[in-house]
Amino acid sequence: MMKIVFATTNKRKIEDAKKVIEHEGLNIEVLSLSDIGFNDEIEENGTTLEENSIIKAKVIKNFCNRNNINYTIISDDSGLFIKSLNNEPGIFTARYADEEIKKDSSLPKYECVNKVLRKLEGIDDRSAQYRCVITCITEDNEYMTVNGITNGDITEEIIDEISYPFFYLVFKPVGSNQTMNKFSDDELYDTYRFVALRSLLKRLSNKQEKKLRVE
C-alpha cells in the first residue's frame, strides 16, 4: 500500500482525503503531520496559494528526509477569491478578520463574512471562486501541482444558522440554488477541494501501479 503524508493537522482535510481514497477505490494510506511526529509551526509567507502549498510541502519533505521517512508528501492551500474585491480575501481567507477581532473581542467569529458583505454593498458583480491548490513531492522528488475551482457568487446576506466554514454561508456555486453550507456530502464531492484531491490521488495511484508493473 502506498503511504502519503498530508501536510496538515486538520482532521477534516484528512477525512476528505480518506473519503476520496475510499470512493475511488485507491490503495493509499494517508498520514497526518501528527502521525509522523511533526509539531512545528510552518510560516506560510507566500503571496499565492501555489507558493504556500509549495512552502509547506518542502518543509515536510525536509523533515521526512532528516528522519528517514520516505513517503510522498502532499500539501494544500485554498481560498475564496472575489472578483470585485481585487480577489480578496484570497490567501488570507482563513484569517481575513483576525485583526478586527483582536481589536474588538465582541465581534463574532464570522466577522470575516460581515467584512466581505460590507465591502460588497452596492456592487452588482458578486462573482467569486473557491480555489484549491495541492502540491505533491513524490518519494523520488518529482513535483506535481493540481488545481480545483468552484465558480459562484456571494449572496447579499447570511440567511442560515452560522456554521463553519463561514464563507460557505454566502457562497452560492454556479448552477445551484443554495449556498455551499447546505451541500450534501455527495454535492461537496464535486467542489474545489475534492476535485483537486481526486485528481492528484488518482494520478499518484496510477503512477504507483505502473511502477509495480515494471518491477
Determine how many CB atoms are found less than 10 A away from the CB of residue 149: 14
Q: 2-27 burial, b for 16+ CB within 10 Å, e for fewer? A: bebbbbbeeeebbebbebbbeeeebe
The b/e string for 37-67 (b: 16+ C-beta within 10 A; e otherwise) is: ebeeebebeeeebbbbbbbbbbbbbebbeee
CA atoms of 171 and 168, how far apart (whole Å): 5
In angstroms, the Cα distances linking 205 to 134, 141, 163, 200, 215 are 16, 16, 34, 9, 15
Q: Which residues are catalytic?
A: 77
